[in-house]
Amino acid sequence: VQLQASGGGLAQPGGSLRLSCAASGSIFSINVMGWHRQAPGKQRELVADITSGGNPNYADSVKGRFTISRDNAKNTVYLQMNSLKPEDTAVYYCSAAIRTTSGGAEYYYWGQGTLVTVSS
């Protein structure tokens, strides 16, 4: 199983970016998918996650600015980031709770990380 993230880059304060993360490989089912971030010198933190039924959960710092969504048919999760702030600068990691066989255990997988820089 692999998670491939894309969409990071440089944005100006107030700008927007959209991240994507596609899961591939031997997948039976995917439960929660999410995005975390890690800024320099800080611990990794949850940004947002979303259940297989589409229920989102957001960190207080991004509520009203970021939107998480997913396409279950494509095993893909998205993060639309609007009104970006310099403090959003971080490496963003996607994650997914995946079961590879029916009745098997569920494990968390992580993408490779994509850098988001917000600067003028």
pLDDT tens digits in sequence order for the chain, 120 residues long: 999 999 999 999 999 999 999 999 999 999 999 999 999 999 999 999 999 999 999 999 999 999 999 999 999 999 999 999 999 999 999 999 999 988 889 999 999 999 999 999
Look at the chain and count its residues: 120
Which two structure tokens, joined as six digits, stand for 77? 């999760």
Instruction: Residue 94: name the closest of 26, 20, 39 by CA.
Output: 20
* Contact between 63 and 81 (Cβ < 8 Å): no
Contacts of 18 (CB under 8 A, 6+ apart): 7, 78, 79, 80, 81
User: What does the pLDDT look like over 30-62, one tens digit per residue?
Assistant: 999 999 999 999 999 999 999 999 999 999 999
